[in-house]
């Protein structure tokens, strides 16, 4: 029976709202997380929403697990605020040097490259959570017609901004890192900047719209964002 409370280590409570990836359930997760943050109990350290749960980290010198659970129960009635959801447009240059795997994705799914671009850029993708790497957004809503397995051997270096597909998932690498996703394009935006607050261009609960751009447009935006061509 959901929601349920469980301990996570010696200084956190996890509130579990379900066991399936669902947009309405995720809205509830973020509503509860936001309400806890706004109330900001004196023992609160951090609130971390995920796909289906909320991790609440507390100061064990100021409260206990049992006390924290009792204090958190009233927050379960929080409801989503639709007006706070926003759409973030992410420009993407598809194919060529920016998307070395797009032809494989097309061939694997019996599509043309143009069809892959059209299918990938059509939906509004929900940002379910951030994690794995700084600024890495877990998106929901990709059309399964372009689902493609990961690379058998991951690349040692994937440029920041690279947009990829892994199985039924899509997203972008906010920082340069190793990676095994099939890279179909790249955004010129600096989507993660630790000098800014918040550092990520998106937050959990946002929606993302990928917008196809030309190579020329890519470098124009890139120079404005990064100050150089690379």
Residue by residue, DSSP assigns 7-28 as E-TTSEEEEE--SS--HHHHHH
Share of the chain above pLDDT 90, in %: 80
Q: What are phi and psi for residue 128, nearest 5 degrees? A: -75, -40
> Burial, 14: exposed, middle or buried (Cβ in 10 Å; 0-12, 13-18, 19+)?
middle
Q: Choose one of 38, 53, 80: the last residue of a domain.
A: 80
Q: Are residues 106 and 184 in the same domain?
A: yes
Q: What is the CATH number of the domain that holds 54?
A: 3.30.1360.40
Q: Is the per-residue pLDDT at 168 higher than 70?
A: yes
| Mean pLDDT computed over every residue of the chain | 93
Of 80, 97, 126, the domain-final residue: 80
Whether the Cβ atoms of residue 145 and residue 55 lie closer than 8 Å to each other: no
Which pLDDT does position 229 carry in this prediction?
A: 55
Residue 68: closest CA among 53, 54, 50, 56? 56
Q: Extract the tokens encoding 90.
A: 């992410």
* Among candidate residues 23, 50, 80, the one where a domain is terminated: 80
What are the pLDDT digits (tens) for 43-69? 999 999 988 999 999 999 999 999 999
Q: What domain range includes position 113?
A: 87-226
pTM over 0.85: no
């Amino acid at each position: 029976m959901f929601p349920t409370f469980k301990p996570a280590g010696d200084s956190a409570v996890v509130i579990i709202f379900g066991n399936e990836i669902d947009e309405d359930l995720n809205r509830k997760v973020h509503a509860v997380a936001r309400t806890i943050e706004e109330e900001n109990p004196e023992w609160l350290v951090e609130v971390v929403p995920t796909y289906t749960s909320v991790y609440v980290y507390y100061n064990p010198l100021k409260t206990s697990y049992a006390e924290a659970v009792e204090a958190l129960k009233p927050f379960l009635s929080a409801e989503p605020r639709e007006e706070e959801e926003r759409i973030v447009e992410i420009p993407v240059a598809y194919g060529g040097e920016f998307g070395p795997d797009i032809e494989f994705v097309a061939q694997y799914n019996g599509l043309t490259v143009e069809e892959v671009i059209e299918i990938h850029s059509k939906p509004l993708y929900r940002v379910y959570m951030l994690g794995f790497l700084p600024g890495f957004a877990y998106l929901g809503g990709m059309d399964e017609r372009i689902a493609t397995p990961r690379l058998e051997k991951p690349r040692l270096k994937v440029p920041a901004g690279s947009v990829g597909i892994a199985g039924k998932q899509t997203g972008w690498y906010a920082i340069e890192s190793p990676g095994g996703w099939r890279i179909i394009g790249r955004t010129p935006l600096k989507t993660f900047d630790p000098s800014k607050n918040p550092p990520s261009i998106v937050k959990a609960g946002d929606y993302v719209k990928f917008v196809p751009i030309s190579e020329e447009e890519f470098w124009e935006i890139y120079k404005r964002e990064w100050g150089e061509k690379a």
